[in-house]
Chain A
């Protein structure tokens, strides 16, 4: 058996599986998943001076 058609076949199969799973995940991404939710506290934020003259004042470097 030629190896190239087999590789292409399996690769396309993997791509198909990936696309299906990705599409499925995209469809349910409005819902939660424990793995995703557990990462919520780790979101990084940027500090901004509380008493600033203009709202456009830039963020300050973190310590």
Chain B
């Protein structure tokens, strides 16, 4: 038993760091190769090979999940475990938990790599994993959290460094987002329906989806930046005080920005405005962080020429700045009207993923490998080659996607004859206009993954023949000092917290009220800010002392971080979830699907149609001219999961029902180019041989009823009869149109669903509470 004041040597658990690092490298290459493959499919439909498990709709979720959770996930765990041990001067609390975390995470990735190509999906972006796997993810996240916080509890360095703050925010926020967005009720071992539907599902999805970017791809990497950039530059971070502002403003503001993914849709306008406003506010903390990172190199810019680690970090942080400039820009409603559903968004997200995440990972790996194996990097030249090949790849990719997105957006929105008709009424004209740019993306992506391959080779040559080493550190066991502990009262009742809470409350009064209360809210908010500034100027030391104490109290710190990130969700999400959804229908409400249509809808989700087709006609004139009457909240009220989509590689399908006859859909699914010349849609021959799963329908309808979907009280036998009768009707119609198919085939169910889109509604009896 060590006593306070005693000197001891600790040996870090770097084994798990090495494991996560190598896993990240391997999965990174796999995830990126899948990305290049599916990008190729967009140009050459033949690359789908007529094989179900290789089609774009099934592989795109594999690509996104692989790069987010496998590549960045493993990289993040390597960085967090490596830097945390050193920053808190303690070995990871449990070797068992560390190993369980590593091997469990790899098993999850493997399970995802098997189930997603099989079409086992929840149908929500970045949240596709079926319920047994996402339950395992939640469990392992808890394992990670326990291991991390247990290590903090055993630390020999009292004060928590800024990187640790970002890690804490990551752990608690991702847990909150992941659990809420994955709430589902299973219908079988491999299938479930999300508990939220329609607009509620959309809002929760993008509260999660946007903040997966924020708290999975950004905050942990910022923590990594704050540790490894000073390490590599051999000087402390430019401004530690700026990092305090960077951290708190970023975690508070980020969580509110989710609705910017649903601009100009049926989402209530107050939420759209909040999403846009907070997105614009994000400019400041993001750039504060970027500048803090870049200025850390003061006096060390010469290293940029010689040290590949610095080179990758500087480029990575710069891409962070560029992507966080572009994000708020795209969140302006009028810009979004052009950019949304186009490749501009794809370019934006890849500027972040390839430039920020990929290059920060590369910088960290090049820094770590020589130290974890105690051997110099095999080749500086190869690392430089990686940098320039990767950089060329990113620039080609992003520039191509900008040009593609703006071109297609302009063409889709363009009108003729004084705005009375669309200039390009055929969607395929806009698709074929961007084909060269989509091909350029394949070239850019190939270059980027080649760069990653070069890094893999370089690190393999570094590691080969070397013996792994663990870091050791001599530390003094510190005794607790009186006055260190921050109780609940001291955590909450202090000037910084009180002024912040008061300020947010008054801002809410100002934002959500009208008339004289609105004016009063604004005036009192301004007074509150002025008072806070005056108090800080006169009692700044008290603010500083309190924060110093907070930094040695991990639990109060974590509680305040949780409050900061939960506030946005509380104000945005809870009102939408608690209000009766029948009050949010505008002037129409959908009628429930027939059993066969529901079976068809699940096929639509299985094939990942939402990856290319939206079901949301925005409140924009060109959208309405092209696709029909704008989508109402009531249209998708019973949709579990919602299928509004985020990219239109193909046209919107919200009102496709009845637009074409059954034979059109039959032919189109068999060979899209037979009907739509120039289409890049895959062929779906397996839908013509696979049988519809009638047996699963009773369980599915039972679960939907539990979720509040007003299905009649059908018995399982009646459900079966209704489904089969409708299938026979459709098969008979097809027969009459010269197409022969057995009624029990999947294509019949899918046609039933597609023909129902936009057709199944009745006037709403509810007041227009959710209307705009």
Contacts and interface: CB of A to CB of B under 8 A. Distances in A.
A36 to B, nearest CB: 7
A42 B159 contact: no
Contacts of B230: 38, 41-42
Contacts of B163: 41
B159 A43 contact: no
A48 B11 contact: yes
A32 interface: yes
Nearest to A62: B374
B159 A37 contact: yes
Contacts of B237: 38
B468 A41 contact: no
Interface in A35-63: 35-43, 45-51, 59-60, 62-63
A7 interface: no
Contact of A37 (B161, B472, B483): B161
A31 B548 contact: yes
A48 B470 contact: yes
B175 to A, nearest CB: 26
Nearest to B549: A31
Given A36-B159, A40-B161, A63 B484 contact: no
B14 A50 contact: yes
B425 interface: no
A50 B376 contact: no
B227 A32 contact: no
A30 B234 contact: no
Contacts of A28: 548
Contacts of B720: none
A45 B548 contact: no
A6 B483 CA distance: 41
Contacts of B473: 43, 45-46
B467 interface: yes
Given A47-B472, A51-B467, A63-B376, A41 B484 contact: no
How many interface residues does chain A have, given as a range?
A: 20 to 34
B291 to A, nearest CB: 16
A41 B82 CA distance: 11
A50 B470 contact: yes
Contacts of B11: 48
Interface in B481-497: 481, 483-484
Contact of A60 (B15, B244, B374): B374
A33 to B, nearest CB: 7
B298 to A, nearest CB: 13
Contacts of A62: 374
Interface string B347-388: 000000000000000000000001100111000000000000
Given A32-B552, A36-B159, A45 B472 contact: yes
Nearest to B83: A41
A35 B239 CA distance: 9
A46 B160 CA distance: 22
Given A46-B471, A50-B469, A31 B545 contact: yes
A32 B467 contact: no
B549 A49 contact: no
Contact of B86 (A38, A41, A60): A41
Contacts of B12: 45
A34 interface: yes
B552 A37 contact: no
Contacts, number: 99
Contacts of A38: 230, 236-237, 240
B662 interface: no
Contacts of A59: 472
B369 to A, nearest CB: 11
A60 to B, nearest CB: 6
B364 to A, nearest CB: 13
A42 B87 CA distance: 9
B370 A63 contact: yes
Contacts of A34: 240-241, 244
Interface string B452-483: 00000000000000011111110000100101
Nearest to A48: B472
Interface string B233-258: 01111001100100000000000000
A28 B481 CA distance: 9
B552 to A, nearest CB: 6
Contact of A39 (B236, B375, B481, B552): B236
A41 B236 CA distance: 8
A38 B703 CA distance: 54
A47 B549 contact: no
B231 interface: yes
B231 A42 contact: yes
Contacts of A36: 159
Nearest to B481: A30
Contacts of B159: 31-32, 36-37, 40
Nearest to B548: A31
A36 B227 CA distance: 14
B227 to A, nearest CB: 5
Nearest to B471: A45
B458 to A, nearest CB: 15
Given A41-B87, A45-B86, A33 B548 contact: yes
A49 B551 CA distance: 34
Interface string A1-42: 000000000000000000000000000101111111111111
Contacts of B235: 42
Contacts of B472: 45-48, 59
B157 A49 contact: no
B10 to A, nearest CB: 10
Interface centre among B87, B240, B481, B551 (most CB of A within 10 A): B240
A49 B548 contact: no
Candidate in B12, B228, B236 with the most chain A CB atoms within 10 angstroms = B236
Interface in B21-65: none
Contacts of B157: 40
B158 interface: yes
A44 B441 CA distance: 43
Contacts of A37: 159, 161-162, 240, 551
A50 B468 contact: yes
Contacts of A42: 230-231, 234-236
B234 A50 contact: no
Contacts of B240: 34-35, 37-38
12 contacts: A30-B483, A30-B484, A31-B158, A37-B551, A41-B161, A45-B471, A45-B473, A47-B371, A48-B470, A51-B467, A60-B469, A62-B374
Given A32-B551, A41-B226, A49-B469, 4 more contacts: A31-B158, A32-B160, A41-B163, A60-B374
Interface of A: 28, 30-43, 45-51, 59-60, 62-63
The 5 closest A-B pairs by CB, nearest first: A32-B159, A30-B481, A47-B469, A38-B236, A34-B240
